[in-house]
Structure 1
Amino acid sequence: MDSSDSPGSLDFGSPGSPTATADNNDEGVGLSDPTKTHNRKEMLDLVNRLRNTGVQTDIDLPLIAVIGSQSAGKSSLIESISGITLPRSSGTCTRCPTECKLSHSDSPWKCIVKLHFSTDSKGASIPVRLVHFGAPITSKSSVEDRIRRAQHAILNPSTDSNKYLHGDNVSDENEVSFSKNYVSLEISGKGLADLSFVDLPGLIASVGRAGDERDIDLVKSLVTSYIKKDSCVILLTVACETDFENQGAHHLAKKYDPEGKRTVGVLTKPDRIQSGDESSWLRILRNETEPLANNWYCVKQPGSQTLNQGVTWEDARRQENEYFTMTQPWSSLEPRYQKFLRTSNLTERLSVILSELIAKRLPEIQKELMDALQNTEAELRALPRAPSNDPVGEVLHVLSSFTRDLSRRLEGTPEEDGLLQTIRPHQQAFKRAIRETAPNFVPWERTPKGRQLPKADFLANEGDDKGSESESESEFSKKIYINEVFDRAQSARTRELPDNYPFVVQKAYIEQFTQQWRQPAMELFDNIHAILKVDLAKLVEEHFAEMGKGNAKQSVLMIVYDHLDDAADRTKQRIEWLLELEQSPTTLNTHYYSDYKDKFLAYYKGCRENTDLATKLKVYQSSKGPFPRPNYSDSITKVLSGLAEIGIVVKAEDLPKLLPSDPMEAALNIMASVRAYFQVAYKRFADMVPIAIDYEIVLGLEKNMDKALQDGLQITGPEGYSRCRNMLQEFSSVASRRQDVQKKMERLQAARQELKQLM
């Protein structure tokens, strides 16, 4: 059969050419050529060292898995390869995997037994735990009992393994009937092949009355978990005493290795072939039926009766050699197929296959390892920080980090979604709302809809005059006409001289707009308060969400909200104070006030006395430049020049002041005075309210925040240490997860060190 690579499979190479006879020696049955290449041993030793780190839990390491149905002769095959005796009487030998790591060594023979736990009694995954089960064994006669005890320990994961190591009476009752946890045997000595494999429980066809039907699927699942991996060499044992098609292990192997690229077949119990069936089994051995890339082998192990007679392993290998040499049809098998007979040839071939697979897989192993390290590091970083040995220092550090970050955000950051950037639109909306409360004086009597005020050019850069071309009914109704102002002024007079009117008139109009300022001011405060509350919640989440069980986050959030509420109370008091100040009209900004009063008076007069004049003056002021000018522009220029000649220097917009006296002069003065004061007061208020809010609740939020947190959390008092420790106490699930990930990291790092030594 062609053994070249195919997609999704591995090619282990073609069979070698070991000798057709076994070279017996006194050290054991798993014989190896002492001249075996150093590279092969190096590859096998590397994987053994990697498996010692436990990294096979995390990455796919090459291994040989021995599978077969119950009574397929697996145990005898393992004994013949390893040179040890497996326990048979208790029935536990096939109830958990047994890992055998054989290593050729010039040192005296020894066996180290370990227990590998990765699941609990319910089959749930647990952190990988490797337990040394007793001191190294130096006598082969002691191995069987140690393995039996180790298997009991594996089947009882909740019990201290020392009970089974040293106990005199070990009960056959176990917590589990089968287990994924396994016994690991590290065997070294002269004459041993450099080989590693895992003996898996035999597949079950049926269970007796006392058995559990679930064990059938449990064992099948266990075997599948090994052989489904592409880097697993399947050592398939098939007993010749049972019809080939009825052996479930073959069907399972074929399911996961349909092309036979990574399966090595072993025919056992050839002495029990039914008369007349020899040819069908020979066709399998010759790879004519059910062909495999690495062929089929046939071995002959001593039967139970022979073992009971105390036959030595050396005698067993000699008897195997004699059997294939003297017994038909094996003795007459073509020479090219003789290399597929005997345990020694199988062992040699398995060693070659495994070492070549390791060498081929090495780059992939390195990549898988580095990827696993990278992913595990990321997983560790994603976990919350482990509780500190200095809980007070840790909590103070987090609090300090929180307050620094808070200060930075309150001072302002350049991000588009920064705190100040979020607040600014609300400040601008507040200013517009205040500006829109300006009294809308009209310098003529109420007239039918249609007559409009022209734009006040001196307000063009302030955005105060909307100057719309058409007015809605609501805007029309908000106007304050000059006759209304005059009537109000007249009704307010008491003992004043003629042409004098009490200040109460101006004050009444001023109060009309200042009383409207409370709502926009409080809306600005409410909006900023809400923004700060959301921002604080985000900041607390960033710094405290992963602290302990979440209690710290809730406590901190309540404290900072209380601190925010205190600042909010102070801010509202400031706003109320500013509103109260505006109830008494006053200003020291006399120049600004007088300038605006003169401009509004001229504007109102011009609109009232001669609307056409106002329009012409407006056109005159805007028609400077090389463009054609209206005819009346020259006349206006002459008037301004003539006045200048007699010492009266005025601007074009001042010309309405020269118009004849108006009976509504007093009302015009009141209108101009109130409107000018609005310009002074609104700008003052539109500045001071945002400044006060910023000072008290934005920048002011940082003041004493650190002290508020320390006092609120009570971390500096006599109970500070215990309170900080409780704050940092995490969920057991998080601690367990971190421990698992840290142990995984340790395994991966240990494996990386082993790979580095190979470079």
Structure 2
Amino acid sequence: MISSDLNNGVGLSDSLYASRRRKMLDVVNALHLTGVQVDIDLPVIAVIGSQSAGKSSLIESISGITLPRASGTCTRCPTECRLTYSDEPWQCIVSLHILTDERGRPLGHPRNDRFGEVIYDKAEVEDRIRRAQRAILNPSTDQKVFLAGDGADLSFAELSFSMNSVTLQISGPDVEDLSFCDLPGLIVSGNENDIELVQHLVSTYISKPSCIILLTVTCETDFQNQGAHRLTKMYDPDGSRTIGVLTKPDRIPGGEDEIWLRYIRNQDEPLEHGWFSVKQPDSQAIAAGISWEEAREGERTFFSTKSPWNALGLEYQHRLGTSRLVERLSDVLSDCISQRLPTIQEELQKLLNTTDEKLTELPKPPSTDAVSEVLYYTSTFAKLLGKHVEGTPNADGLLQSIRPAAEKFRQVIRDSEPDFRPYERKVARTKPEIHQFVTPSFLANEGIPFTPSDDRKAIYIDDVMKRAQEAITRELADHYPFVVIQEYIISIVSGWQAPAETLFHEVLIVLVKHVKTLVSRHFSQYPLLQSRITSIVTDFIAAASEDTVGRIKWFMALEKHPRTLNEPYYLDYRARFLSHYKGWRPKDDQPRSSLTSRINAAFNGETTEPELQNDINLILAGFSKIGLHSMQPNDLAKLLPPDPYDAAIDIMASVRAYFQVAYKRFTDNIPMTIDYELVLGLDRDQALEKALRKGLGIGGADSVAQCSEYIKEPRSIAERREELLKKRERLETAKRQLSDVWL
């Protein structure tokens, strides 16, 4: 190792800005300690390079300490170096900066665990860092294990690499202000998982706009084969925040000097801050115990005496040597901090506002009183459901969603009207253009009138007459059994079963969908409780459905026994339909009606038979001569034989009048029954709420345990809340630190 007999580090010559730089570094260092760098972009110098690129030697030359040496990849976690000038004697404090937990998740408030006592001898730093790295890579083991004995030599490690870092706070009179982070060297071969882990860790740092990339490139390997350069180009393609440093200039293969000098001149792979070169002691010098100051003197001698470096122009000489590199790093970091600090406060506040909004969007945390919480949710749900079953003014409300099905049901029942035709079947076939369906004019104000689309269900007057004659048993002449009317009514009513069941199922679908939506919204915070509530409500609706179906069947059975106490309403319709069917009858089939029409026309001056009125007057005079003085013209029609289908017309009028009474009754009763039994049944006598309490086991011996399980927050929400709370804690801490140190 480099001898520590001289406790010297790289000094910064520009004392005019030392105080300002120190203050700005204090601010950024304080912010880094809060862990807020996982949320916002903080200025930092990240030292990166491929494995064995001389990165560790560079860090040693800048910090004046010795890092652990080992074969293969030694640095397996970031090492943060915070160098601070102080009037006090040189010292180093080693801490473990824990940003993530064992699962790699960010902590709300990162831990800065002091790792051992303050070090006053540089010779002790290397061993302490090695032990600290072991502690970082074994997060489940007590840190004290690695401080004592040979704990640091344990070969086993839980993690290959870690985002948590070892922090070195170095101060002293010969230490100037600078902070940087040494990242693990990029691996080109070996374990694929380790290669990806290191690349991801390095990318996490250098992808941020305020990260100053200190790219170390060894001169003993072809430039294009060094992965660190390719990764840097990916995140800083224009080279605006990269400082390149060439290491091991004494190992340039013969004849390739000019290749590397082109980088110093910024001719190849040009960078805004240019390229530097440093010369560190070789392994023999280190083994011999070369001091830090001797190493720096050897570096100056090398660049001033060795070709081609000593032949570089004066404008490039300031790019040779560690001291010149550190001066440039200090300037660039100071500039970056001065540009970044004014916007950090605003970003912190915006992130806090956004975080608070996201926390507000999350469901409230579960109550500590599980039973009361479940009771509250079930009670408020029952009240909410009660409002919906009673009716809400929303266009997509429950009752509004049911109404179209009820209207459709009403029209279907209305369209089941018997299609009576008051003329014979053969007449309809021979003269279909004359004998068309006639809608009763007195039904015009009762909604959309029934008009059959064809004659397939037409019931002709001779069919009715034939059925009436077939039903005669011991009835007197001109009397026909009531069973004929009853059969026609039952055949119509029997067709109402299917529409009623269809209405029930459509209402059930709408109801279940609506209730499940309410359950989903109301209990969305607790999926297990939501699932259980859905199951209970579904069972409750299923039980109510059975009762509703039973009531529908009861009404169907009732309608198959024709009866009405609304006799005036029925008789009025019967008289109207009797007149309608008789008026619809063909005149040739109604001698009396035909003569009556002719007489009325003759006496109203509308006749085409001018002698008819005189003939009628002569007939009436003849009746007077034989003593029948009260005879009127229309009485002459009574002398003709009656319509042979009068009985059939009576039956048709009776059936049609009863249909008008029954269908209105049925289209009210069925929707009301479904509404009362199925819909309103959800809120009647708190039946559902009682069922919910019973189904959830509230009041039972295990109610506390059951309710606790019901309101157990989903892991995804709990983790999201924890993540946001931790983020908010980091942001608040960073905001306070910024105010205390800078503002």
Q: Is TM > 0.5 for Structure 1 vs Structure 2?
A: yes
Counterpart residue type for residue 526 of structure 1: H
Q: Which AA in structure 2 matches 1:710?
A: R
Give the SS at the match of 1:137. Answer: coil
Superposition deviation, residue 683 in structure 1: 0.8
- TM-score in terms of structure 2 length: 0.79
2:629 corresponds to: none
Give yes or no for the alignment of 1:717 onto 2:700.
yes
* Alignment map for 1:339-354 (pairs within 5 Å): 339-354=318-333
Out of 471, 487, 500, the residue aligned to residue 521 of structure 1 is: 500
Which shows bigger deviation, 143-152 or 101-110? 101-110
- How is 1:185-224 mapped onto 2 (pairs within 5 angstroms)? 185-204=168-187, 219=198, 222-224=201-203
Residue correspondence of structure 1 range 532-547 to structure 2 within 5 A: 532-544=511-523, 546-547=525-526
Cα distance in 2 between the residues matched to 1:317 and 1:659: 143
Residue 555 (structure 2) aligns with: 578
How far has the Cα of 1:395 moved from its partner? 2.1
State the Cα deviation string for residues 282-310 of structure 1 (Å, max 9, x = none).
55434455543212334454555555666
Measure the CA separation in 2 of the matches of 1:658 and 1:296.
132
1:461–1:166 CA distance, 2 compared to 1 (3 A) = farther
1:437 is paired with a residue of what secondary structure?
coil
The 8 Å contact of residues 489 and 505 in structure 1, kept in 2 or not, is answered as: no
Residue 649 of structure 1 is matched in structure 2 by: none
Conservation of the 8 A alpha-carbon contact between 2:213 and 2:242: yes
Q: Of 673, 685, 699, which aligns to 2:654?
A: 673
Q: Is the 8 A contact 1:110 1:187 kept in 2?
A: yes
Q: 1:397 aligns with which of 376, 382, 390?
A: 376
The offset of 1:599, in angstroms, is 1.4
Contact 2:116 2:147 (8 Å CA) reproduced:
no
Match of 1:235 among 211, 214, 221: 214
Q: Choose which of 136, 141, 145 in structure 1 pairs with 2:127.
A: 145
Q: Which residue of 1 aligns with 2:28?
A: 47
1:484 aligned partner, one-letter code: V
User: 1:183 corresponds to which letter in structure 2?
Assistant: V
User: Identity of counterpart residues, as a percentage?
Assistant: 48
Distance 1:657 1:243, change over 3 A: farther
1:153 is aligned with what amino acid?
Answer: A
Residues 278 and 513 of structure 1: is their aligned pair in 2 closer, same or farther, counting only changes over 3 Å?
Answer: closer
Looking at structure 2, the residues matched to 732 and 349 of structure 1 have their Cα atoms a distance apart, in angstroms, of 49
Per-residue CA shift, 1:575-632, capped at 9, x if unaligned?
Answer: 233233334433333332232222112212222374999xx99xxxxxxxxxxxx999
**In the alignment, which of 126, 149, 153 is matched to residue 171 of structure 1?**
153
Q: Using the alignment, how far apart are the partners of 2:557 and 2:227 within structure 1?
A: 95
Q: Which of 562, 582, 585 is equivalent to 1:605?
A: 582
Shift of residue 155 of structure 1? 2.8
Query: What one-letter code is carried by the residue in structure 2 that aligns with 1:540?
Result: V
Whether 1:101 and 2:82 are equivalent positions in the alignment is yes
SS in 2 for 1:454: coil
Q: 2:45·2:333 contact (CA, 8 Å) conserved in 1?
A: yes
Contact residue 93 and residue 151 of structure 1 kept, 8 A: no
Match of 2:436 in 1: 452
For 1:691 and 1:250, the matched residues in 2 are separated by: 80
Q: How many residues align?
A: 690
| Residues 471, 481 of structure 2: 8 Å contact kept | no
Give the Cα–Cα distance (whole angstroms) in 2 for the partners of residues 224 and 544 of structure 1: 42
Equivalent in the alignment of 2:614? none
The CA deviation at 1:712 is 0.7
Alpha-carbon distance change, 408 to 753 in structure 1, aligned in 2, over 3 angstroms: farther
Q: 2:669 aligns with which of 688, 693, 697?
A: 688
- Once the two structures are overlaid, the 10-residue window that deviates more, 425-434 or 247-256, is 247-256
Q: How much does 1:554 deviate?
A: 3.5
Q: What's the counterpart of residue 427 of structure 1? A: 406
Aligned equivalent of 1:113, options 72, 95, 103:
95
Structure 2 Cα separation of the partners of residues 328 and 609 of structure 1: 131
Gap change, CA 1:743 and 1:131, over 3 Å in 2: same
For 1:271 and 1:199, the matched residues in 2 are separated by: 23
Question: CA distance change for structure 1 residues 321 and 670 in 2, over 3 Å: closer, same or farther?
Answer: same
Equivalent residues in 2 for 1:251-650 (5 A)?
252-254=231-233, 256-269=235-248, 284-288=263-267, 290-302=269-281, 313=292, 334-361=313-340, 386-448=365-427, 449=429, 450=432, 451-463=435-447, 465-467=449-451, 471-472=454-455, 474-476=456-458, 479-481=459-461, 484-485=464-465, 488=468, 491-492=471-472, 494=474, 503-544=482-523, 546-548=525-527, 550=528, 552-608=529-585, 610=587
Q: Distance in 1 between matches of 2:198 and 2:314?
A: 39
Letter in 2 for 1:94: T
Can you list the C-alpha shifts for 1:179-208, whole angstroms capped at 9, x where unaligned? 4443233344555433321112334566xx
Query: 8 Å contact 1:714–1:720 — kept in the other structure?
Result: yes
User: 1:559 offset after TM fit, Å?
Assistant: 1.2
The answer to whether the Cα contact below 8 Å between 1:43 and 1:359 also exists between their aligned partners in 2 is yes
Gaps of 5+ in 2: 1-5, 595-600, 608-632
Is 1:708 the counterpart of 2:691? The answer is yes
Question: How far apart, CA to CA, are the structure 2 residues paired with 1:592 and 1:574?
Answer: 26
Distance 1:170 1:633, change over 3 A: farther
SS in 2 for 1:600: helix
> How many Å separate the matches in 2 of 1:49 and 1:32?
25
Q: Aligned letter for 1:590? A: E
Shift of the 291–525 alpha-carbon distance from structure 1 to 2, 3 Å rule, reads closer
Q: Does the Cα contact within 8 Å between 2:33 and 2:112 map onto a contact in 1?
A: no
Q: 3-state DSSP class of the match of 1:85?
A: coil
For the 8 Å contact 2:417–2:450, the answer to whether it is kept is no
Normalising to structure 1: TM-score of the pair? 0.77
**Correspondence for 2:105:** 126
Q: CA deviation at 1:216?
A: 5.7
Alignment check: 8 A CA contact 1:41 1:355 kept? no
Gaps of at least 5 residues in structure 1 are 1-24, 618-629, 637-654
* Whole-Å separation in 1 of the counterparts to 2:338 and 2:185: 30
Following superposition, the deviation at residue 726 of structure 1 comes to 1.8
Shift of residue 164, structure 1, vs aligned partner: 1.4
SS in 2 for 1:585: coil
Q: Deviation string for 1:309-329 (max 9, x for gaps)?
A: 666556655665677678887
**Distance of 2:602 and 2:308 partners within structure 1:** 134
**What one-letter code is carried by the residue in structure 1 that aligns with 2:93?**
C
Corresponding residue for 1:640? none
Aligned partners of 1:467, 1:274: CA distance in 2, in Å?
105
C-alpha distance in 2, partners of 1:273/1:678? 111
**Conservation of the 8 A alpha-carbon contact between 1:240 and 1:273:** yes
CA distance in 1, matches of 2:134, 2:39: 26
Is the CA contact (8 Å cut-off) linking 2:83 and 2:176 kept in structure 1? yes
Q: State the one-letter code of the partner of 1:712.
A: G
Distance in 2 between residues matched to 1:657 and 1:374, nearest whole Å = 99
Change in Cα spacing, 1:685 to 1:285, as seen in structure 2 (3 Å) is closer
TM-superposed deviation, 1:720: 0.7
**Contact kept? 1:95, 1:201, Cα under 8 Å:** yes
Letter in structure 1 aligned against 2:444:
A
Please tell me whether the aligned partners of residues 66 and 237 of structure 1 are also in contact (alpha carbons under 8 angstroms): yes
Which residue of structure 2 aligns with residue 156 of structure 1?
A: 138
Deviation track 1:16-61 (CA, whole Å, cap 9, x = no partner) reads xxxxxxxxx9774354644326654454334333322323334443
**What secondary structure does 2:216 align onto?**
strand
